[in-house]
Amino acid sequence: MAMKEHKKQKHQAHCVVITVSDTRTNDTDKSGNIISSLLTSSGHRVVNRIIVPDELVEIKQSLHTCCEDPRVNAVVVNGGTGVAKRDVTIEAVESLLEKEMPGFGELFRLISYQEDIGSAAILSRAIAGIHNHTVIFSVPGSSGAVKLAMERLILPEVSHVLHELQKN
């Protein structure tokens, strides 16, 4: 099947949005709101939203629980991706992945570099992959990074990824 035909297939994502932060609340979670809004306006469903502190064990447990939920086929994580000591989201996600999609992080950094971040894009850690037949996308928590990742990478490809996951 040609790539254009794959893109036409609309597999609805049933998503959990996880915000990793020690300070955000449901009222102040701007990036989580952006992700949820973009998903629903694109025809996908947000099953749940969670705020998790910057703690490796708690992030891993939340991800594992989401990926075990039969209603969920996609998780979008934002926050905790920097290089500071408390930024452990990437390590948590990476430890669960059965298959990594390295192109996601590579393209995220390239687009960030080209758009407006410049050489500071080397600090942008982003990762995507598969755990228990669920796709996980993890991006920085700034609203600009979230918008960029959602509009340029996640929304254009999530249906295609879900289609591929249904194959034997």
Q: What percent of the chain has pLDDT over 70?
A: 95
User: How far is 109 from 63, CA to CA, in rounded Å?
Assistant: 23
Domains and CATH numbers, the chain: 12-165 (3.40.980.10)
The stretch 49-72 carries a mean pLDDT of 98
Given a cut of 60, whether residue 3 has pLDDT beyond it is no
Whether the CB-CB separation of 84 and 20 falls below 8 Å is answered with no
Identify the pLDDT of residue 15: 98
Pairing of the two strands 127-131 and 134-139: antiparallel
CA-based nearest residue to 58, from 25, 21, 32, 24: 21
Given a cut of 80, whether residue 146 has pLDDT beyond it is yes
* pTM attached to this predicted model: 0.94
The stretch 128-145 carries a mean pLDDT of 97
Average pLDDT, the chain: 94
